[in-house]
Amino acid sequence: MTGADREERSRARTRHLVASLEAETARWTEATGPGEPLEKHHSQVACLVRLLRTCLRDLDGLPDRELTEPVLDLHHVWDFFRGKLVLRCLPQYRDFLETADELAWACYQPAPAAAGTGPGVPPLVFLNRAEVPFAVGRGHDYRELLPGAVRTRSGEAAAGTLPFPIIGVPWHQTEHLPGLLTVAHEVGHHVEDDCGLGLALRARVRGSGLPSERQRLWEDWVTEVFADVCACLACGPAYLDTLSDALAELPPLAFGGYPPKELRLRACRSVFEPAAPGAGERPGEPSGEQGPSDEAAVVVRALTADGYAELGGRTLPSVLTCAEAWEPEVAAGRLLAGMPSGTADARASLASAAAAFARDPAGYDAMGVGRRVVREVLDHRPKGPRAATPAPEAADRRATAAGHLLAGLLTRTGSSAG
């Protein structure tokens, strides 16, 4: 019996390899249509599909012998995102992840709206083996998060530009809903990145009146302090309780870009202190009793008191504060009594769950507060995708540009691993 030669079979396998990626993008696009299971992720999947299809078109002219390795690397990069979306189809993880997505969106979307940039592509929350939550911003390198090594050196470079922001949450948090408030801190990093606030934050530290040697320290810390301030504004004092519990298990010294934990908690407490007489009702402005030696309060005031040009001239509290989350005690009492929280905002609902846990952990468990609040958050979700449909032109342009960049990296001369 005669058959096709090896070269012909090789060409057919390569066509099938490309076709499998094209078929996947079609299936995932369908899964995010109106009323479909992943409708809320339409903008994220649309971004990925445009990126992948742009890249495939650019690769199309390659000879078959040069096409296989880049397409295999493209499959590997796509797998990074596919795995995170697939978990949302599994009942044991779906509700937790969708609740985390709702919190991230509620904390995130007011900032780009104030900046006038539109909703864009929101952060994607996923479960990860890391011990603590973390954020990776749009355009950042995510090679170390890939599930395995890519096949080529250029494939490694291709994983150097994340198309939209992501937030990793430890697997163990799925059974401890109050810990989900730490997602609001990670969203703060994405607010800084996507609204271009980095230079403004450092300028505010320099203008705070602190001695120059202390300014340098706080400039190093300001990114983390800003993220904590964002979380406090969005989730209220329950975030401070959650952070305090988390920090209690860490060593007392600072690590990475964080201030020592006592200063970090002091900064958070400063967000909730009353304004000085005559200063207006602006969260975060320290009271007249505080002196300049209280560095954390001084820095928080510098970050919150005045408007940002990057946010349309608005102050951070006016953009990010969720008033319901600032007074969670009544809702927490309702939850512990077996009643609904009475809140409709994901930030307030999750803050009330955390407040109920802080007040009475045993009662929290006995009354199934975590499970009930997850149901509340999901029941109050508005219908439709989270971001604009069709995607804003800027998001389309970024995804197309990323696809061209990806194709260029994957076809770089001399890129095979060796």
pLDDT digits (tens, 9 = 90+) for 157-212: 555 567 788 999 999 999 999 999 999 999 999 999 999 999 999 999 999 999 98
At 119, is the pLDDT very low, low, confident or very high (cuts 50, 70, 90)?
low
Does residue 276 have a pLDDT over 50?
no
Residue 162 confidence (pLDDT)? 75
Q: Tens of pLDDT along 8-20?
A: 887 888 888 889 8
Residue 280 confidence (pLDDT)? 36
Distance of alpha carbon 72 from alpha carbon 158, whole angstroms? 12
At 282, is the pLDDT very low, low, confident or very high (cuts 50, 70, 90)?
very low
Distance of alpha carbon 217 from alpha carbon 200, whole angstroms? 16
Q: Is residue 181 within 8 Å of 231, Cβ to Cβ?
A: yes
| 415/299: higher pLDDT | 299
Q: Tens of pLDDT along 48-79?
A: 888 888 888 888 878 877 788 888 878 878 88
Does residue 262 have a pLDDT over 70?
yes
Q: Domain segments of the chain: what residues? A: 6-175+386-410, 198-307
Residue 345 confidence (pLDDT)? 97
Residue 138 confidence (pLDDT)? 78
Of 121-125, 138-142, 268-272, 293-297, the poorest mean pLDDT is in: 138-142
Average pLDDT, the chain: 84
| 74/278: higher pLDDT | 74
Residue 141 confidence (pLDDT)? 67
Does residue 131 have a pLDDT over 60?
yes
Going by their DSSP bridges, the two strands 166-170 and 134-136 should be labelled as: antiparallel
| Adjacent-strand bridge partners of 232 | none
Average pLDDT over residues 284-304: 69
H-only helix segments in 278-345: 295-304, 316-320, 323-326, 329-336
| 355/390: higher pLDDT | 355
Number of other residues whose CB lies within 10 A of the CB of residue 248: 9
Residue 391 confidence (pLDDT)? 56
